[in-house]
């Protein structure tokens, strides 16, 4: 039985009779609810919002590429790791201040910078793309016009990534008598509808690789405040890598100290709608 209540108007009298009439209508409607009305699967997509937002992720929520696999693998599945020669300007060891620089020199494949691997040495972040191929890029695309502030769209994106990093040329993770050493870095980034790219600085993680390969795991929650640093829309989320060398201030002038290998990655983006159900 539908619940029908006459809207209150300015000047209506609040007395026992009028309030009892209103409460009685609500009580009657609740008492008329049958058990079948609240049974399992009684509610359908007509009653509940779609929280999967699958239409906003045309290629799915995940991007992954295990070592030596994937379309257009230039190594034919042999598992040869890609070499990256890029890093952040450390201002002579005084500390990195600019985390929003992206590489401009891309080594091979069909993609263009800042997709890796880099032909370095080069300064900035490189988006992971095994073999330099777009089909192997660590990125999750979103439909046009997603701004995380529009009613009915997700207002948060939970982003989780992982990348395999290996030591290269005896330098990544290497320290010498002067205390100079290199740490590799990974981070979550995103791109707006105008093509501008941004690193989520709170997601940056550093690791000393030494002579053995290790995995760097990163996570970020992207919301409307983060996206507002661009043009207000978000078109993709990506996984980027670089390194920092203590004691050197110009990655573009040095080769070995900014050298590391990448061999696999995974990236997952989970849309979240909170506070507006």
Q: Please give the Cα distance from 79 to 161 (Å, whole number).
A: 20
Q: What confidence score (pLDDT) does residue 220 get?
A: 97
Question: Can you tell me whether residue 136 is helix, strand or coil?
Answer: helix
Report whether 219 contacts 162 (CB < 8 A).
Answer: no
Split at pLDDT 50, 70, 90, the class of 7 is confident
Tally of CB atoms within 10 A around 156: 17
Q: Which two tokens stand for residue 153?
A: 């769209």
The distance in angstroms from the start CA to the end CA of the chain is 24
Q: What confidence score (pLDDT) does residue 172 get?
A: 41
Tally of CB atoms within 10 A around 23: 10
Q: What confidence score (pLDDT) does residue 277 get?
A: 42
Q: What confidence score (pLDDT) does residue 186 get?
A: 95
Split at pLDDT 50, 70, 90, the class of 147 is confident
Q: Which two tokens stand for residue 248?
A: 């050197």
Q: What confidence score (pLDDT) does residue 61 get?
A: 94
Q: Please give the Cα distance from 226 to 251 (Å, whole number).
A: 28
Torsion of CA 109, 115, 118, 123, to 10 degrees: 160
Q: Please give the Cα distance from 64 to 80 (Å, whole number).
A: 17
Q: What confidence score (pLDDT) does residue 72 get?
A: 43
Beta bridge partners of 209: none
Q: Tell me the pLDDT tens digit for each residue of 50-89.
A: 667 888 999 999 998 865 544 444 444 445 678 888 888 8
Q: Please give the Cα distance from 183 to 165 (Å, whole number).
A: 11
Beta bridge partners of 234: none
Question: Can you tell me whether residue 12 is helix, strand or coil?
Answer: coil
Report whether 138 contacts 235 (CB < 8 A).
Answer: no
Q: Please give the Cα distance from 66 to 264 (Å, whole number).
A: 5
Q: Please give the Cα distance from 112 to 251 (Å, whole number).
A: 20
Q: Which two tokens stand for residue 72?
A: 């257009």
E-strand ranges in 13-155 read 62-65, 82-87, 122-123, 126-127, 139-141
Q: What confidence score (pLDDT) does residue 236 get?
A: 95
Q: Tell me the pLDDT tens digit for each residue of 170-204.
A: 444 444 444 456 788 999 999 998 899 999 999 99
Q: Which two tokens stand for residue 7?
A: 């809207």
Higher pLDDT, 36 or 187: 187
Q: Please give the Cα distance from 128 to 123 (Å, whole number).
A: 15
The alpha carbon of 146 is separated from its chain's Cα centroid by a whole number of angstroms, namely 14
> Residue 193's closest CA among 153, 154, 232, 137?
232
Q: Tell me the pLDDT tens digit for each residue of 194-235.
A: 899 999 999 999 887 665 668 899 999 999 999 888 778 899
Q: Which two tokens stand for residue 149?
A: 């502030």
Q: Tell me the pLDDT tens digit for each residue of 230-272.
A: 778 899 999 999 988 876 777 877 766 788 888 889 999 999 9
E-strand ranges in 25-66 read 62-65
> Residue 149's closest CA among 56, 230, 225?
225
pTM: 0.76
């Amino acid at each position: 039985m539908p619940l029908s209540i006459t809207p209150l108007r300015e000047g209506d009298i609040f007395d026992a009779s009028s309030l009892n009439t209103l409460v009685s209508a609500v009580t009657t409607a609740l008492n008329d609810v049958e058990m079948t009305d609240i049974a399992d699967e009684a509610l359908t997509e007509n009653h509940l919002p779609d929280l999967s937002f699958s239409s906003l992720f045309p290629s799915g929520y995940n991007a992954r590429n295990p070592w030596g696999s994937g379309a257009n693998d230039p190594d034919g599945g042999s598992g040869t790791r890609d070499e990256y020669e890029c890093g952040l300007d450390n201002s002579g060891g005084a500390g990195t201040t600019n985390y929003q620089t992206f590489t401009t020199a891309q080594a091979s494949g069909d993609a263009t910078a800042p997709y890796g691997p880099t032909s370095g040495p080069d300064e900035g972040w490189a988006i992971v793309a095994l073999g330099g191929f777009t089909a192997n890029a660590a990125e999750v695309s979103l439909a046009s016009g997603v701004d995380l502030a529009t009613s009915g769209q997700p207002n948060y994106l939970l982003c989780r990534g992982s990348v395999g990093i290996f030591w290269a040329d005896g330098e990544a993770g290497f320290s010498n008598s002067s205390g100079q050493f290199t740490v590799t870095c990974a981070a979550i980034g995103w791109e707006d509808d105008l093509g501008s790219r941004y690193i989520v600085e709170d997601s940056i993680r550093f690791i000393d690789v030494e002579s053995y390969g290790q995995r760097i795991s990163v996570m970020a929650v992207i919301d409307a405040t983060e996206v507002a640093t661009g043009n207000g829309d978000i078109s993709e989320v990506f996984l980027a890598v670089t390194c920092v060398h203590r004691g050197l201030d110009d990655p573009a002038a040095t080769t070995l100290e900014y050298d590391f290998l990448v061999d696999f990655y995974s990236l997952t983006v989970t849309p979240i709608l909170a506070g507006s159900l």
